[in-house]
Structure 1
């Protein structure tokens, strides 16, 4: 072999590994670390807020099934970025995954407010049915168009923590400074005579502690995790009956998802779907556990009945539902499809 030819072969061999290393698909297939952000308190695989636990279970199982080609870093308590920035960041590809109430993005994508529409989801069973029903398929399609992949469909019932009196009937909120959690819930509260306060769930404690807010509607898990029993004297629980079910999925940036191999994508979606049963079970357990937590602190715990739920639903139909349907054709369509499951 001539010296020139030998040099050419050696150069080709030396560049080959570099070419492989610089291939985007190869790089992602070798090892990728994805970041999961959420606003809830951090814990472990076995203990703590079930939403944080779900993220950790998801990360561990996907890493195992992908043979380490996918790894994860979890950032609880809004430690990576502010709560309300997560959805937008996923759309831009600046955040990989987040578990966040979908309705928080209502200002950016009005259609997603259906995820916290008072009276529209009457039970966990109906919420779970959304995924494969027409409403779920349309919502999923909309989110994909907006750059979001729904990995786990998670629903949670909500309750009310209050400093001053129990919130049961709509009349109870007259003149009360209360947090609803979404534009649609706020519309119902305003119609019932409340003064609405808007803030993320991780800011409720401080607002109630200072008296800037008298009551807050939030999920049973958040009622526990954010220690609101320390600043409350009354609890309306979500066990059994609730007019307040929230869609709080584990989501992923489509930009990031599309960079993965087919096997990695399938692993993520499979594990995400498998964890939905854990989420329902854990949410139901928290609906019961929250009552015990508040009773131990001396708070008075009350429950809702079907007649009371219907009072709230009646207000919701003429306020929140109407307002939502009037926004655009997509909203009207989603609402109509959701009503089919009632």
Structure 2
């Protein structure tokens, strides 16, 4: 079956909806495996639940995974999805919950766990990934192999690679295309310690918060601007609070986040070999959807913001090079602070952008 055929099949959607917002019931897997081999896996993520198969593509991806696993295992493996931070209020704590065996799965930005695994900052290194082609090339590159192995060594298995391009929204009337466009005293929000290090160098003040809090922070004036994924700009209706939007649709952004579908290795090891094979196969089969939906979202959100009266601009190649130049100190500090960091930076730079 071709990649296009797999993508078309999953666009049709199958299976029944799984329950969401399940209550935690102790440690380990939520239930099972039973004597009959039945297992329930708990999956948490931070985005609104899809409606009729539509919505934030990361939430849709989680639902498709759950539906397909349940179907292919004849109901022996059920995935209970808790969207919108309904199970774990702070999305950055999902990795810890997996390591503690109180959560089994997540669609999770690995950089959130950089405090525990410093190497994960490679997956949100400013200006390291500039477009979707380069992001997708990581999966079959040496840096991709290293990230996968690091994840396994630290208790999580990557099932589906998910990348999100980022945009810049400002509450003021002037868009931000280059570092020189940053207003004096401007406060922004952006995920990622190395991204924040670069932004401080560009002259931003910083305020840390989850994406779900950006709307209120812009509304109250706590933030002058925000940097997050294009999909989150749409899911949280930030077009109601920003006047300008620097879109990555033209193929340039300094903010690209890796947020894969992951399963804890402890949870994975409790599955039968047949169940493990199915989980791996479903993760691979929805890979094309993950890449395509993310890329299409850039253009969809670009148009959505224009339709809502927001001034939409794009970053030129020369604009990107200015961000890349001021990102290099963050690369250098990563290389100095993280064991093997210099080699990881070199491997990241080797990935082609086309």
Q: Select the residue among 319, 322, 328 that pairs with 2:338.
A: 328
How far apart in 1 are the matches of 2:268 and 2:96? 16
Equivalence for 1:69: 76
Please tell me whether residue 167 in structure 1 is matched to residue 168 in structure 2. Answer: no
| Alignment deviations for residues 105-155 of structure 1 (CA, whole Å, 9 cap, x no partner) | 112211101111111112212211212211111111111111011111111
Q: Select the residue among 271, 288, 313 that pairs with 2:282.
A: 271
How far apart in 1 are the matches of 2:43 and 2:190? 26
Higher helix fraction (1 or 2): 1
Equivalence for 2:159: 151
Please tell me whether residue 38 in structure 1 is matched to residue 49 in structure 2. Answer: no
Please tell me whether residue 187 in structure 1 is matched to residue 197 in structure 2. Answer: yes
Q: Could you say if the C-alpha distance between residues 215 and 261 of structure 1 is closer, same or farther in structure 2, counting changes exceeding 3 Å?
A: same
Q: Could you say if the C-alpha distance between residues 26 and 251 of structure 1 is closer, same or farther in structure 2, counting changes exceeding 3 Å?
A: closer
Please tell me whether residue 228 in structure 1 is matched to residue 238 in structure 2. Answer: yes
> After superposition, where does 1:23-102 map in structure 2 within 5 Å?
27=34, 30-44=37-51, 46-81=53-88, 82-102=90-110
Please tell me whether residue 246 in structure 1 is matched to residue 257 in structure 2. Answer: yes
Structure ID, larger Rg = 1
Aligned residues between the structures: 318
CA RMSD of aligned residues (A): 1.6
Offset, 1:27: 2.0
How far apart in 1 are the matches of 2:349 and 2:39? 41
How far apart in 1 are the matches of 2:135 and 2:307? 31
Equivalence for 1:196: 206
Contact 1:44 1:56 in 2 (8 A): no
5+ residue gaps, structure 1, are 1-23
5+ residue gaps, structure 2, are 1-30
Contact 1:173 1:189 in 2 (8 A): no
| Alignment deviations for residues 274-333 of structure 1 (CA, whole Å, 9 cap, x no partner) | 21211111111110111222122211000111110111011111x211111111223222
Q: Select the residue among 161, 168, 177 that pairs with 2:187.
A: 177
Moved more, 232-241 or 171-180: 171-180
Runs of 4 or more above 6 Å deviation: none
Offset, 1:28: 7.0
| Alignment deviations for residues 48-78 of structure 1 (CA, whole Å, 9 cap, x no partner) | 1111000000000011111111011111110
How far apart in 2 are the matches of 1:275 and 1:29? 28
